[in-house]
């Protein structure tokens, strides 16, 4: 049997990688708990604000105001006009002390701080963020009651809070970097991709990927997620054996590109051992019963193996005819019909029953033809099921704890099948659209 000599074309993977905003929100809210104090300080002011003069507070030379600002509710992210915004609901508690006041006067205020965020990936594969304070909205302004009079125009307090919030917004950069540890995730994913990945359990089928190139687009903003497009080149093989990776490649230097095509084109070879091919065929052929007149012949077992330039199908028979039937022929793949045909077909019956062996040769030939037909039909059925198997693999398939694959097969072509000495080789060309969700 001939070995394939033509090199397999390199596959090109165009994979939009999405991070849902609510996933980032979840991590941010775990980092900053409700009620957590973001900053606190005491303001000492010589004299008093001009607006307090009319209530007689000017006689005190010094007043003190303790301010503590804490997270009040869930941090929210949103995208507006292709820009990312973050909103922090906050509560501010304030305590006013002055010369003749034994207990401080206390009040609370509520506000929402808003910042605009620019995201990018640096050369070390780290997610970088630059938050710009947009402003804040008072939901409930601070107000004290002094001598029964409400004092709500407390510009000194409001100005101080606004100034500190603008400074605190800078912490958002580090929070986002911690929320999305992209460098660690990229390294883990890159190394994991180079390890064999299971495709099927029975028979066991493994996907082996040999990446050679990796590029990343700029970050794009959508209503419910942010996204980068990943462009990679790789050699792909599907094998019946779990291959060991001796020396995996390190994560390549970060390189950007302009996303254009979202279609993934895969040229891959699938390698099946004859034992695995036997297991696949046995699912449809084992237990099959051939009946004609008084004759009832049952297939107890089946085995495929190569013999020089031919494929041998050994069928163990029971019933009216006990023994082994050997179907032999050159297995030829017809790509237009998507089927395998046994050409130059012949058969041999081995049985201990001499009379059964020599009698009714016509019946034996009919049985052999029927077995050949069943073999070809079973193989054709399995080949037709391959696209659905691949499509099922692409749909909501978890690659690891961080990556969820979700794709749709658009084009499938089985270009060739070779029956070699040790395995059966299938050359496959696929086109698909695949999204990858990065879960934090």
Please state the domain extents for the chain: 1-20+181-440, 32-179
| pLDDT for the residue 112 | 92
| pLDDT for the residue 89 | 93
CA distances from 194 to 18, 211, 251, 300 (A): 21, 7, 11, 41
| pLDDT for the residue 13 | 85
Nearest to 267, CA basis, from 67, 425, 431 = 431
pLDDT in tens, the chain (440 residues): 454 456 677 888 888 889 999 999 999 999 999 999 988 887 755 444 555 444 444 444 456 778 889 999 999 999 998 899 999 999 988 887 765 555 777 888 899 999 999 999 998 899 899 989 888 888 988 877 666 655 555 677 777 787 887 778 878 888 888 888 888 888 888 888 888 887 777 667 788 888 888 888 889 999 999 998 888 888 887 776 677 776 788 888 888 888 667 788 888 888 788 888 888 788 877 888 877 777 788 888 999 999 888 899 898 888 877 888 888 888 898 888 878 888 888 888 787 664 455 455 666 677 778 778 878 888 888 788 888 888 888 888 887 777 888 889 898 888 888 888 888 888 888 899 888 888 87
Strands (E) in 72-180, as ranges, are 76-80, 83-98, 105-121, 127-140, 144-146, 149-151
Helix (H) or strand (E) run with residue 438 in it: strand 423-438
Nearest to 67, CA basis, from 47, 37, 45, 46 = 37
Pairwise CA distance, residues 417 & 404, whole Å: 31
Pairwise CA distance, residues 330 & 338, whole Å: 16
| pLDDT for the residue 117 | 92
CB contact set of 25 (below 8 Å; sequence gap of 6+): 74, 75, 76, 77
């Amino acid at each position: 049997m001939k070995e394939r000599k033509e090199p397999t074309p390199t596959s090109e993977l165009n994979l939009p990688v999405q991070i849902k905003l609510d996933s980032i929100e979840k991590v941010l809210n775990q980092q900053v708990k409700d009620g957590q104090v973001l900053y606190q300080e005491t303001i000492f002011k010589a004299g008093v604000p001009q607006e307090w003069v009319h209530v007689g507070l000017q006689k005190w030379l010094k007043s003190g105001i303790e301010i503590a600002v804490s997270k009040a509710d869930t941090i929210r992210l949103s995208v507006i006009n292709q820009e990312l915004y973050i909103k922090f609901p906050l509560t501010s508690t304030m305590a006013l002390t002055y010369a003749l006041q034994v207990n401080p006067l206390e009040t609370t205020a509520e506000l929402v701080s808003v910042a605009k965020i620019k995201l990018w990936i640096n050369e070390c594969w780290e997610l970088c963020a630059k938050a710009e304070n947009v402003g804040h909205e008072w939901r409930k302004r601070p107000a004290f009651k002094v001598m029964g009079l409400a004092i709500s125009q407390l510009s000194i307090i409001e100005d101080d809070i606004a100034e500190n919030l603008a400074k605190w917004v800078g912490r958002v950069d580090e929070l986002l970097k911690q929320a999305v540890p992209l460098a660690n995730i990229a390294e883990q994913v890159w190394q994991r991709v180079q390890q064999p990945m299971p495709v099927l359990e029975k028979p066991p089928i493994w996907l082996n990927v040999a990446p050679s190139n990796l590029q990343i687009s700029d970050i794009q903003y959508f209503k419910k997620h942010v996204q980068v497009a990943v462009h990679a080149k790789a050699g792909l093989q599907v094998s019946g054996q779990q291959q060991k990776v001796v020396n995996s490649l390190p994560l390549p230097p970060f390189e950007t590109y302009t996303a254009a095509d979202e279609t993934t084109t895969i040229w891959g070879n699938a390698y099946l051992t004859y034992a695995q091919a036997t297991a696949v065929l046995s699912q449809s052929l084992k237990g099959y019963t051939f009946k004609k007149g008084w004759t009832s012949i049952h297939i107890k077992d089946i085995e495929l193996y190569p013999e020089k330039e031919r494929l041998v199908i050994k069928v163990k028979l029971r019933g009216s005819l006990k023994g082994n039937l050997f179907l032999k022929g050159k297995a030829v793949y017809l790509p237009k019909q998507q089927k395998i045909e046994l050409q130059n077909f012949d058969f041999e019956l081995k049985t201990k029953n001499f009379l059964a062996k020599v009698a009714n040769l016509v019946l034996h030939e009919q049985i052999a033809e029927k077995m050949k037909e069943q073999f070809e039909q079973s193989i054709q059925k399995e080949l037709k099921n391959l696209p659905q198997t691949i499509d099922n693999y692409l749909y909501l398939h978890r690659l690891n704890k961080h990556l969820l694959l979700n794709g749709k097969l658009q084009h499938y072509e089985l270009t060739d099948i070779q029956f070699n000495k040790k395995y059966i080789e299938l050359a496959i060309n696929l086109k698909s659209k695949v999204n990858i969700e990065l879960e934090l």
